[in-house]
Structure 1
Amino acid sequence: MWMSLLSSVDFFCGYYDMKQAILNRFLRYIQFDTQSDPKQQQCPSTFGQMALADQLKQELIKLRFSEVNLTENGYLTATVPATVAGVPVIGFIAHLDTAPDFNGAHVNPQIIENYAGTDIRLNASEKLNVTEFPVLNNYVGQTLITTDGTSLLGGDDKAGIAEIVTALASLLEDPASQHGEIRLCFTPDEEIGRGADGFDVAGFGAEWAYTVDGGGIGSLEFENFNGATAVVTAKGNNCHPGTAFGVMINAQSMAARFHAKMPLGDTPENSQGYDGFFHLIDMHGVTEQAQLTYLIRDFDIDLFEQRKRWLTERVERCNADLLGGELSVEITDSYFNMRDQFHGHQHIIDIAKQAMQNRNVQPVIEPIRGATDGSRLSYMGLPCPNLFTGGHNFHGKHEFICLESMIKATEVIIEIALLTAKRYQESD
């Protein structure tokens, strides 16, 4: 009886220690403004990412991680040494940057304990509305962390960083735990599609890895959009408006007419699940020249290629109807669906599923309506499914995360390490 009671006390003490560690780390990390900037060519694209990476480097050294290294381009790696032999090296990956879509500076988080299931007031004019975000109903009685309505929160992906550091630090603190060598990497500029650009797969040395960059509890993702970016350029002719008759060709008007005839129902706000879309993300210009930038997304590679052909042909048809000026399009592939890279590697997904079940988390298998560093890394020889962080509504003022889900994500990372060792020890 006393042993049973002691075990319970140890469990609850360990749980609350982990809860406080995750919360403290997360609140500390989100104070760094790490928004990436697609207009900058250097890596990392912003100073704040390197500032956070340097702080994390010092933290990992203090926690006694091995082989802590920060490159001049902002890739931070470290190692948890193996406690048993004969186990494949695995890795966990998260990204330092936050999205450039919405303000990421001066994050002022709000902590709602024992959430009552009602609307959450963020500030005088903004709130998290249960009707608009019914997923809130899943978190009654739990602890939520929200924004104050003026910035994003930064859970994408500072939650992943906090969970990885806490999980692997826990393994380091427990010499009796049995696991193989574990590598971590925190990458820059994932949100602008460059996170894998400087990733040294061979130097990382893992047979496979998991990005910790997903959403709500239980999410396990191993397929994603095929993605490309299309830039449609309208070239016109400028002159003084007082003498414009028969001379001026307004490129902005050309661009506006082009977009007005796009399939406006085939957009992110009108699609879900495995639906693809065209997404206008930027439009700018002057009379002389204007540009429209679209994201092209589809899970099916044939439909993806069809979308690219359709857009190219549509530009050609529009040109044939123009009395003056010219439209052109440049399409650049960004990444491809990583699903095909898991043929013959089902055990990577099975281990993650079993780890969730062992920690009383129901796996939710769903496609990523986007991509992660793992999407590209899988094509670079490092298979990388994506694990949940516990957050929702990333990239905007309505972002929130559940602290209890963050704890579960941390437990799942630990369990994956232990299960991997157990699987390979049993096979011997």
Structure 2
Amino acid sequence: VGEGNRCRREEYMASGSFDEYSDVGPYGTTPQMDDVNEEEEDFPVGPGSFIGQSRLASSSIHARDISPPDATDTTRVVIVGLPGAGKSSVQNVVFHKLSPHETLFLESTDHIVKHDISNSSFLQFQVWDTPGKLDSATDMSFDTVLAGCTVLLFIVDVTSEDTQTTMQYLHQTLTQAYIANPQLYTEIFIHKADALTEDQKLRCQRELQDRVDEELREINLDAAIDRISYRTTSIFDNSIYQAFSSVAQRLIPEVAVLENLLDCLVNSCAIEKAFLFDIVSKLYIATDSSPVHTQDFELCSDMIEVTIDVSFIYQRKSPSLSLSSAPEQEDLKRTTTRETSSTNGGNQHGGSDTCRGAGTLTSQSIAIIRLSNDTVVYQCEVAQYLALSCILRAETYDANTGIVEYNIGVFQDGLHEVIAQRKHQVA
């Protein structure tokens, strides 16, 4: 995310191997260059200049220092890992829209920092950014930090040469975490994976998972194995947003209900894929039950950026925080490969209820992009800071435009009922 997009979005809101005797280098990469056999074809190149560097540090940007927690603390995600693994860069890129290249200048964190996330009706939690050595940097014990924690996010630096230290800290953290909180979910991000090829990523993840599973079985923590997920990530592409979306879904009790609503929408309209996005963070908080393909996620995620950029070109003088706010004369713009529209007070396709329940003029917004492969990406703001993104065939949309828009309105009504019920339970 460039500096321009970051500013607009802020305005828009309010090595060793795991196997000691393996000939594979850190986390499934090759050994040091001096040991590489030029005739081997599996992994001809290692992470390169990233190896051994501590590129990313921590920061307290848009955050506040904290004292020991109390019972009033909300649901939280605790991020842990060795110094330089990229803990603070992850949350700064995802939630504060810091450019990935700017994370090089973040200062090291020497104390726990809490970040309050309250983007939409469903994303209401805290992210705790911890120093590399937690017990030595604070008077709080690790058990205290885990009190009330829902998700433990462990960042593994895939480019680090000191794999043994990483594995020791990971084993110590998992053991202590599941003894203190057996209901804890753990997400392990194999981070800085842009240094690896696709084959290396798969081999790295498999090797790490096998070793962690083996060590947990040895200490009779078999139940913890099913509560651990592994994902390869990088702040230089959309993989970090896709991975953190899975973390966010762990914190949403209504995710199964939202999935059922999306399944009904997909089945009734012949939609290929549907996502419910948090507009501010670009995390999807729910999707239908079909498998998630990276290309589909990237397409819908990038469309949010396009829509926000267009909305700031054609926005009113005093726009509300909405997906788009075009003036009346800018109802519909079409080109050969792209079609973008923003409704103003009515349905531009013949109806009067395109996004029912929108309430205000600026909250009624639609964005449609036609791709050269006869695919339509349809995006509609269905609640405050929540956007529905759908991928479907162009002939399906053209033949059933009214049905698609009507069923999206039905989905929106159901979504508002879920939000109202959630607010009632919180109250």
TM-score over 0.5 (shorter chain): no
**Rg bigger for which structure?**
1
TM-score (norm 2): 0.26
Greater RCO (CA < 8 Å, at least 6 residues apart): 1
TM-score (norm 1): 0.26
